[in-house]
Amino acid sequence: MDRIVVLGAGTGGTLAANRLRRAYSESEVSITVVDQDDSHVYQPGLLFVPFGLTHKEDIVRPRGRQLHQGIEYLVDPIDRVEFDERRVHLADGRDLSYDVLVVATGAVLAPEETEGLTGGGWKEKVFTFYDLEGAQALAERLEFFDGGRLVVDIVEMPIKCPVAPLEFCFLADWYFHEQNMRDKVELTFVTPLDGAFTKPVASRQLGGMLDQRGIELVTEFNTGEVDGVGGKLVSYDEREVPFDLAVVVPVHNGAAYITRSPGLGDPLGFVPTDEHTLQSKASPHVFALGDAAALPISKAGSVTHFEGEVLVENIRRFLAGQPLDASYDGHANCFIETGFSKAMLIDFNYDTEPVSGRFPTSVGLPLMKESHLNHLGKLLFQWFYWHALLPGRDIPGVHSAMPTSGKDRQQIANEEVPTS
Ligand SMILES: Cc1cc2nc3c(=O)[nH]c(=O)nc-3n(C[C@H](O)[C@H](O)[C@H](O)COP(=O)(O)OP(=O)(O)OC[C@H]3O[C@@H](n4cnc5c(N)ncnc54)[C@H](O)[C@@H]3O)c2cc1C
């Protein structure tokens, strides 16, 4: 019997384990999943927590209950992997040997790596919504915020869901309008990028949307220090951005055990992985998906989902001694909540920037356009997450390869879309 060990029971580990369980009977393959805790947070929901639009009980479920029968689930921190011996060491001293290892331990927030960030003012004037505790603390603070300079800052790339900080800005604009105090709040978005987003065309469009809402955009700002007491961000080139309230997206690293596993990760603790097959570069027996993989595409749940299909097929081929399928094209898509019950949808891959049109076909959701329909799509996605994506079911019409049928072919050719 082949042994598959999956590290992490978040989005990627859960959907990969469930897809693998469907692909193999229990007598063919044993599947063991390891995570350090038993609380699965629907992370896209964290965006809505600070504005009182959703709450902990709506977005957290037990991890073990998301795994199909016939999957062994262990709750224990991973200590290290020795891939020469094909063995995982857990913190309590247990060892797990494997024929295939799936690394799906995501990205870890490292706020302590930025000078001052967790010092004076942390959780008083300086917050993050990138974890549940932070998002809840920010909700309490926003209730009593009576105006001033609110700054949203990305310290460093890569981060999970690079559009989430922009969505926070758009929702803050909506929220303060709703509170009849928009004129009392100066909103500023501070980013190390040279525009609002990583992809040039979408970046122009999103930058224009910030401008229309009176949200200042500060680019190429590499945050060196967050002075929570003095109320200012300071960049390495000594520029300063003052604030009364800062919402900071901290540095992201790979899980610490990856750096304790010689040869497995890069200096940030992410796992170098083949862009198309998802086999790790460290060992043919190791595959990686989701935020843990070092790939030139956004760290997003949608990416993790699309990768899952190819990864499971490749594990099947690897165990059968067949050549791997090099078909993962970097497909990513994101709903971008833009406030006032609207959202925009972008769909792209390694080679094609987001363009306008419809997704997944010419009668689907509008791309690169704010619409109420996309907002409903964003809200409905949570249902799909728990009931289709995590259980490893296929979502009709949505596949791992980026669809081209609904997209504006001329724009794909030109990689050019209107800025309005
Ligand atoms: C605020 C926010 C908004 C987002 N919005 C969207 C969105 O709208 N759309 C979208 O597609 N994506 C979004 N994302 C990103 C998405 O949630 C992640 O990309 C996705 O969850 C990645 O899945 P993963 O399996 O790689 O990592 P995770 O789901 O984070 O799972 C990693 C798992 O590994 C475990 N782990 C880590 N280290 C260890 C260890 N040493 N021992 C044991 N277990 C360990 C963790 O406990 C965790 O369960 C958002 C993220 C955030 C933070």
Whether residue 46 has its Cβ less than 6 Å from ligand 1: yes
Are 335 and 381 within 8 A, CB to CB?
yes
pLDDT score at 119: 97
Within 10 angstroms of residue 158's Cβ, the number of other Cβ atoms is: 20
Collapse the DSSP code of 239 into the 3-class scheme (helix H, G, I; strand E, B; otherwise coil) and give the result: coil
Whether residue 264 has its Cβ less than 6 Å from ligand 1: no
The ligand 1 atom at the shortest distance from the C-alpha of residue 14 is: 25
pLDDT score at 420: 40
pLDDT score at 198: 83
Q: How confident is the model at residue 413 (pLDDT cuts 50, 70, 90)?
A: low
Q: Of the candidates 67, 158, 146, 115, which has an alpha carbon nearest to the alpha carbon of residue 391?
A: 67
**From the CA of 163, how far away is ligand 1's center (Å)?**
15
What are the backbone angles phi and psi of residue 131, rounded to the nearest 5°?
A: -135, 165
List Cα–Cα distances, 304 to 223, 328, 349, in angstroms.
28, 11, 13
Residue nearest to atom 28 of ligand 1 (CA): 10
Tell me the pLDDT tens digit for each residue of 225-263: 999 999 999 999 999 999 999 999 999 999 999 999 999
pLDDT at 164 over 90: yes
In the predicted model, what is the mean pLDDT of residues 367-390? 95
**From the CA of 107, how far away is ligand 1's center (Å)?**
7
Distance CA 248, CA 251 (A): 9
The residues near 410 (Cβ < 8 Å, ≥ 6 apart) are none
pLDDT at 282 over 80: yes
DSSP codes joined into one string, 154-165: E-SS--BSTTHH
Tell me the pLDDT tens digit for each residue of 59-104: 999 999 999 999 999 999 999 999 899 999 999 999 999 999 999 9
In the predicted model, what is the mean pLDDT of residues 364-389? 94
**From the CA of 410, how far away is ligand 1's center (Å)?**
35
The ligand 1 atom at the shortest distance from the C-alpha of residue 291 is: 26
Distance CA 220, CA 45 (A): 28
Find the range with the poorest average confidence among 148-162, 212-226, 261-275, 398-412. 398-412
Distance CA 347, CA 354 (A): 5
In the predicted model, what is the mean pLDDT of residues 372-386? 96
Considering only residues 193 and 360, tell me which one the structure prediction assigns the higher pLDDT. Answer: 193
* pLDDT averaged over every residue in the chain: 95
Tell me the pLDDT tens digit for each residue of 292-328: 999 999 999 999 999 999 999 999 999 999 999 999 9
Distance CA 9, CA 390 (A): 10
pLDDT at 415 over 70: no
In the predicted model, what is the mean pLDDT of residues 162-168? 97
Tell me the pLDDT tens digit for each residue of 107-121: 999 999 999 999 999
- Letter string b/e over residues 314-352, b meaning 16 or more CB atoms within 10 A of that residue's CB: bbbebbeeeebbeebbbbbbbbbbbbeebbbbbbbbeeb
**59 residue type, one letter:** I
Distance, C-alpha 112 to centroid of its chain: 20
Whether residue 105 has its Cβ less than 6 Å from ligand 1: yes
- Outline where 27-151 has alpha helix (H): 56-59, 132-143
The ligand 1 atom at the shortest distance from the C-alpha of residue 289 is: 26
**From the CA of 96, how far away is ligand 1's center (Å)?**
23
- Outline where 289-333 has alpha helix (H): 301-319
Return left, alpha or beta for 52; rule: phi > 0 is left, psi -120 to 50 is alpha, else beta. left
Pairing mode of beta strands 95-97, 87-90: antiparallel
Query: Which helix or strand (DSSP H or E) is residue 379 part of?
Result: helix 372-384
Distance CA 67, CA 54 (A): 25
pLDDT at 419 over 60: no
